[in-house]
Structure 1
Amino acid sequence: MSVATASRPPIRQGAQRASASSGTRRGADTDIRLVARSIAQAALEVLAGTRPLVQLSRSLDPECYLALQHRAALTRKHAARSKGSPQPHLSPMVRSVRACSISESICEASIVVAEEGRCRAVAMRLERTDGVWQVTALEIG
């Protein structure tokens, strides 16, 4: 005698891991990717001259803020020296974001951003203090 049961597709190993992780952890990972995405796009807009740097003052620690300010000034100086009419900058488009949790309050993210003629890589380390994510290391390729 056989008992008929509904056939279920086998559960993939990745699906088991996703369901085994806590919902808050997955939510935090999504949150950090969104934060990293917006900060990376804003930083590249600062370098392009289409966004004021002061808008990132709360998202960057003082060392990263000064480094981005210096690089933006150098970019403007170089653009002023180059001959020809300046082309309007198009807004950079974030293609992908990958985040890796180091601990509960530290994450690292890598972002690929497409600009008009090239793609760029952005790497950042984010640390949560008082419930707010702040960039403590920023590298823009």
Structure 2
Amino acid sequence: MTTSAVRIDEYLDPAPSRFEPLVISFSTPHEYLAESAEARLARRAVRGGPQALPHPKAWAYTVLQATLESLTGFRPVTHLSRWVSPEVYDALARRAALAARVAEPTRAQRPAIRNVRASSVSKGRVDVIATILDGDRIRAVAIEMIVRRSRWIVTEIQIG
């Protein structure tokens, strides 16, 4: 390991100080380069880095809220593109366009999520059911999520 130390106090005025002089070490990046990519990813996963998935119930709540807002016109459907599969995105875009055509000129109250339950079906797959309050109606929602590229993706959504 090659290191070189620079003493900062050589460049400062010789004023009396009660602090110790600061020594900064510069090392070559050989230690970092010698570490394998797998070791770096494992260390990052332990710290809760990009490989750590959010809790499925909390994530489903967020996606469901964004979906309901996009279907009622409070949010563009394009915000959902990273969270849903292409098939689900196309279906939601069609439904949002239809809702925009038939909607009354005044905006309705936003739907409220009342309850969310998540159930792990298999490794990397979770089914979520939810109840929402839409005006004076209570509706049921079913969502299927899978893990794809270290993140949750909605592959199926049904709104009753």
Could you say whether these structures have the same fold, taking a TM-score greater than 0.5 normalized by the shorter chain as the test?
Answer: yes
User: Residue 110 of structure 1 contacts residue 123 of structure 1 at CA under 8 Å; is this kept in 2?
Assistant: yes
Point out which structure has higher relative CO (alpha carbons under 8 A, 6+ apart).
1
Deviations 1:82-132, CA, capped at 9 Å, x for gaps:
xxx623222221111111101120000001111222222111100011220
Match status 1:52 vs 2:79: no
Determine which structure has more spread, i.e. the larger CA radius of gyration. 2
Equivalence for 2:65:
41
Tell me the distance in 1 between the aligned counterparts of 2:113 and 2:79.
Answer: 19
Amino acid at match of 1:132: R
Match status 1:138 vs 2:153: no
Equivalence for 2:100:
76
Equivalence for 1:99:
118
**Structure (1/2) with the larger strand percentage:** 2
TM-score, normalised to structure 2's length? 0.63
Match status 1:66 vs 2:90: yes
Deviations 1:46-73, CA, capped at 9 Å, x for gaps:
1110101111100000000000000111
**Structure (1/2) with the larger helix percentage:** 1
TM-score, normalised to structure 1's length? 0.71
Tell me, which stretches of 5 or more residues in structure 2 are unaligned?
1-51
Amino acid at match of 2:147: R
- Residue 109 (structure 1) aligned to one of 112, 118, 128: 128
Tell me, which stretches of 5 or more residues in structure 1 are unaligned?
1-27, 80-84
Amino acid at match of 1:72: A
Tell me the distance in 1 between the aligned counterparts of 2:61 and 2:108.
Answer: 19
Secondary structure of the 2:55 match is helix
User: Residue 110 of structure 1 contacts residue 124 of structure 1 at CA under 8 Å; is this kept in 2?
Assistant: yes
Match status 1:128 vs 2:147: yes
Secondary structure of the 1:91 match is coil
**RMSD over aligned Cα atoms:** 1.9
CA deviation after TM superposition for structure 1 residue 38, in Å: 1.2
Tell me the distance in 2 between the aligned counterparts of 1:59 and 1:51.
Answer: 14
Question: % of aligned pairs identical?
Answer: 38
User: Residue 50 of structure 1 contacts residue 89 of structure 1 at CA under 8 Å; is this kept in 2?
Assistant: no
Tell me the distance in 1 between the aligned counterparts of 2:70 and 2:130.
Answer: 16
Secondary structure of the 2:117 match is strand
